[in-house]
Amino acid sequence: MSTEKKRNKKKNRTIMRSVILLLLVAAIGYTIYNSVTADEVEVLKVGDAAPDFTLTDLDGETHKLSDYKGQGVFLNFWGTWCEPCIKEMPAMASQYEVYEDQGVQILAVNIAQSNFEVETFARQYGLNFPIVIDRDKSVMTAYNIRPLPTTMLVNPQGEIQRIVTGEMTEQDIAGFMEEIKPE
Amino acid sequence: MDKLICKCGHENPPGTVLCESCGRPLNEQEQNKQLADMRYEGTARRSQTYNKSIIDKIWNFFSSVKIGVGIIIVLLIAAALGTILPQKQYVPAATDADIEAYYTDIYGSVGTVYHALGFHDLYNSFWFIGLVGMLAISLIIASLDRFVPLYRSLKNQRVLRHSSFMRKQRILAEGPGDADTLKKAEEKLTDLKYKVSTDKNGLLAEKGRFSRWGPYVNHIGLIIFLFGVMLRMMPGFYVDETLWIREGETRAIPDAPGYVLESKGFTLETYTGEGEEEKFGEAIDRVGTVAKNYQTDVVLYKIPEGALPGDTADMEMVEEHAIRVNQPFKFDGYALYQMDFQQDELKTMSFALQNKETGESRGDLTIDLVNPETNYELEDGSLVELLGYYPDFSGFENGEPQTATPLPKNPGFLVKMTTPDTPDGETSFITIQNTVEPLGDNDYKLAFQGVETRDASGLTVRKDRTLPILGLGGLIFMIGVAQGMYFNHRRFWIQQQADGSILLAGHTNKNWFGLKKDLDQVTEHASLPAYRDQQEDMEAQEKREGEQLT
């Protein structure tokens, strides 16, 4: 057998083996990646399109997320039993006054509580932004919300800009609103 | 490395032990053996022949059966370790911090170490999955490395083998033969369903070659099975979620987009021990109650195509169904199982508006704890106004009542009571068994009358698209096992030398008894020389030598 043929065969063998090994390692890597990130909930990731939904607020007005395209949407999931949710509400209200005119909308999504509880709460804290109630938890399920509060920052293009879990300070809120403010 | 050229002229891949074509031993070690090692037909395991680049080294590592068995042993030990303490999903704690505390609290320092090592979530750990992956790589590479040369060798085998090959086979016969011996042997072997090929002065009879592929088919099944398990971790293939739903509630089904479930009611039935159920009487006397049925009556709705989450106005009813233990509700690839229940959660509370002094009642009111109203008007013009409602009252913070959960476990009400006697109204904060009058003494109180309760059902939502793949993997695995276990690859080589003498060799991968039974028939029909089993001879001789020594 000529040396050239031999060299070719050796080259082919190395390529063949490399390809097989690479495929197998890629499959395992992907599986590990999936299993490790599975617990972290985020089926939704930063950069994904925010799932559209429609919910009714306390005044009976319907809010559809896609209607706010071109504006930033500060989507806050909360409940009256969640202490940090309650604490960040007044800060959200005061920042809303600053950013509403600059094209940032707040939608506070309450998780399946009664009208009475939500209305009483809104009145008590003088909340100026629309509060919608997710009665069958379908929006919560669509966004895969686990801990409360969770805030989804949706940019004017309708993509998720940032996912915040846990309490935010007023400074945080101002910074996040700046991020999703339309140009 | 160079090819090995046999005396017969055949070019063998480097590392070959027995010539692919004529069967001559190609190295000294093999020449000195009394019996040939036929496991892979004396072919070179491909990986052993090259060991140069890093790729080759990795390949060789995984090609080794020793490494494969090692991985299996490590996996077995690891899997066993994961069963010592419960895995984290079976621990009654939700957050990471709670889970960690649970292991320490319940199992002491052992639990702390167990958690610190990550064994609380062992089967999802990167190293466990990595090991399973390495096993898959080992299966694939080790199979490829053995299957390809074996296939080549069996495909290339020649009818006429060198006498040195034949003499090293376990079954051997030598002796005089007749002119028609070969022909008669061929006849009988064909009769016994052997595939016979002839060449000049010899014949090769072969049966059940496909039995040799059994282990490889078996490995393909295993790999398909592992692939199915891998798919479970991809979104959309596997769902295993819990849905708690209370009587009267409507909830989106987690991980089943577009589907909404309403609970009509939960039922727990027990055996009465009377009438037809008398036979259970003894058991009931012994243990108290025996459950007969756990059932949740549900209505399934589907949100129309194109409708958005939250848009429940146009929901269409799909089906009413009763979910019982072991009788899941199946729809569109999903299954809802009755798994758990919680009885007697508060649903409504009734009060009477009473004058504290006289005990006189001005009427009753019922507060819906799930969806309370603001005003409760009584007949004589009295009014109870709900100012605040705290379903799971947990104390005050900065003077504000707090609720720990959204569930009415310990309801607290802030009410304003107005009667014709007290037109300015009196404020009272009521919890179970306790009333606070924050703005001074009141004339009236809300006297507790009674409660209505409701039950909650714990359902499991499951979807498994990987089952057909797992089934296919299992089936192929079993086919491979049957192929390798219940069929044998039997071969006979017969040659008639110029002087008329017969040389016969036989080989099978298992079940030598069956091979000998076949050969007995052929020997009788074709008057072949008597054969001997060289391995038995060797063993007998060793035994004799051993006896002489003692």
**pLDDT tens, residue by residue, B191-213:** 999 999 998 889 999 999 999 99
A11 touches chain B (CB under 8 A): no
Q: What is the pLDDT of residue A40?
A: 44
Q: Which residues 150-179 of chain A have a CB within 8 Å of chain B?
A: none
Q: Which residues of A touch B13 (CB under 8 A)?
A: none
Please count the residues of chain A: 183
Is B311 close to A54, i.e. CB distance below 8 A? yes
With a cut of 80, say whether residue B301 has pLDDT above it.
yes
Other CB atoms within a 10 A radius of the CB of residue B428 amount to 20
- Kindly list the distances between the CA atom of residue A11 and the CA atoms of B58, B154, B321, in Å, as whole numbers in the listed order: 16, 27, 63
Query: What residues in chain A have per-residue pLDDT under 50?
Result: 1, 40-42
Q: Which residue of A has its CA nearest to B46?
A: A13
HSE-up of residue B331 (Cα within 13 Å, Cβ side): 22
The rounded distance, in Å, linking the Cα atoms of B479 and A99 is 68
pLDDT at res. B234? 78
Q: Does A84 contact B at CB distance below 8 Å?
A: no
Per-residue pLDDT at B196: 94
Six token digits for residue B164 = 């040195």
Express each pLDDT in B208-254 by its tens digit: 999 999 999 999 999 999 999 888 877 778 888 889 999 999 999 98
| B46 pLDDT higher than 70 | no
3-class DSSP assignment, residue B354: strand
Residue B49 in this model has a pLDDT that exceeds 80: no
Task: Residue A117: list chain B partners with CB under 8 A.
Answer: 372, 389, 391
Cα(B125)–Cα(B118) distance, integer angstroms = 8
Per-residue pLDDT tens over the stretch B505-536: 999 998 999 999 999 999 999 888 999 998 88
Q: What is the mean pLDDT of residues B127-142?
A: 92
Rounded to 10 degrees, the C-alpha dihedral B326/B329/B333/B334 comes to: -90
Which tokens sit at A7?
């060299």
**Residue type at B218 in one-letter notation:** N
* Record: contact B310-A53, CB cut-off 8 A: yes
Q: Which of A32, A115, A140 sits opposite B129 (nearest CB)?
A: A32
Q: Is B379 exposed, middle or buried (0-12, 13-18, 19+ CB in 10 A)?
A: exposed
Q: Which residues on B lie below 8 Å from A83 (Cβ)?
A: 402
Q: Find chain A residues with C-beta within 8 A of B230's C-beta.
A: 27, 31
**How far, CA to CA in Å, does B412 sit from each of B213, B333, B351, B431?**
73, 43, 13, 4
A57 touches chain B (CB under 8 A): no
Distance from CA of A162 to the nearest CA of B (A): 21
Distance between A41 CA and the closest CA of chain B, angstroms: 11
B124 touches chain A (CB under 8 A): yes
If you average pLDDT over residues B142-162, what whole number do you get? 88
- The arithmetic mean of pLDDT across residues B16-38, rounded, is 82
pLDDT for B146 beyond 70: yes
Residues B377-409 have pLDDT tens digits of: 998 889 999 999 999 999 888 888 889 989 999
Q: Which amino acid is at B437?
A: E
How close A49 gets to chain B, by Cα (Å)?
Answer: 14
Mean pLDDT on B248-266: 91
Q: What local confidence, expressed as pLDDT, does residue B548 receive?
A: 79
d(CA A90, CA A126): 8
Q: Write the residue in B130, B133, B312 that is nearest to A136 by C-beta.
A: B312
Helix (H) or strand (E) holding A170: helix A170-180
| B137 with A53: Cβ contact below 8 A | no
- Rounded Cα–Cα distance for residues B420 and B381 (Å): 7
CB pairs < 8 Å spanning A and B: 123
The confidence score (pLDDT) of residue B177 equals 85
In residues, how long is chain B? 550
- Least confident among B49-58, B445-454, B512-521: B49-58
Q: What is the per-residue pLDDT for A41?
A: 46
pLDDT of residue B17: 84
- When pLDDT is averaged across residues B366-371 and rounded to a whole number, the result is 92
What is the tally of helices (H) and strands (E) in chain A? 5, 7
Residue in A1, A24, A54 nearest the CB of B140: A24
Q: Smallest CA–CA separation between A55 and chain B, in Å?
A: 5
Confidence of residue B50 (pLDDT cuts 50, 70, 90): low
With an 8 Å Cβ cutoff, is B235 touching chain A? Answer: yes
Cβ contact, residue pair B250, A17, below 8 Å = no
Q: Is A43 on the interface with B (CB under 8 A)?
A: yes
pLDDT at B270 over 60: yes
pLDDT at B520: 94
The half-sphere exposure of B92 on its side-chain side, counting CA atoms within 13 A, is 2
* Residue-level pLDDT at B47: 55
How far is B423 from chain A, CA to nearest CA, in Å? 23
For B262, which residue in chain A has the nearest alpha carbon? A136
Yes or no: say if B299 and B262 are a contact pair by the CB < 8 Å rule.
Answer: yes
With contact defined as beta carbons under 8 Å apart, do A180 and A153 qualify?
Answer: yes
Q: Please indicate if any CB of chain B lies within 8 Å of the CB of A54.
A: yes
> Does pLDDT of B5 surpass 60?
yes
B402 close to A (CB below 8 A): yes
Other C-beta atoms closer than 10 Å to the C-beta of A37 total 13
- Contacting B residues, span 69-98, partner chain A, CB-CB under 8 Å: none
Can you tell me which residue has the tokens 């060198």?
A: B162
Q: Which residue of A has its CA nearest to B372?
A: A116
Q: Give the residue from B415, B437, B409 showing the smallest Cα distance to B353.
A: B415
Asked if the Cβ–Cβ distance from A13 to B260 is below 8 Å, we say no
CA quadruple B401, B402, B407, B408: dihedral, nearest 10: -20
Say if the Cβ atoms of B133 and A31 lie within 8 Å: yes
Of B140, B252, B404, the CB nearest to A81: B404
Q: Which residue in A85, A174, A75 sits closest to A132, CA to CA?
A: A75
What is the average pLDDT across B435-454? 89
In percent, how much of chain B has pLDDT > 90?
Answer: 52
Contact check, Cβ <8 Å, B58/A14? no
pLDDT given at position A42: 46
Per-residue pLDDT of B312-358, as tens digits, reads 777 889 999 999 999 999 999 999 999 999 998 999 999 999 998 89
Residue among A137, A140, A146, A148 with most chain B CBs within 10 A, to mutate: A137
Cα separation, A77 vs B95, whole angstroms: 19
Search chain B and give the residue with CA nearest A143. B309
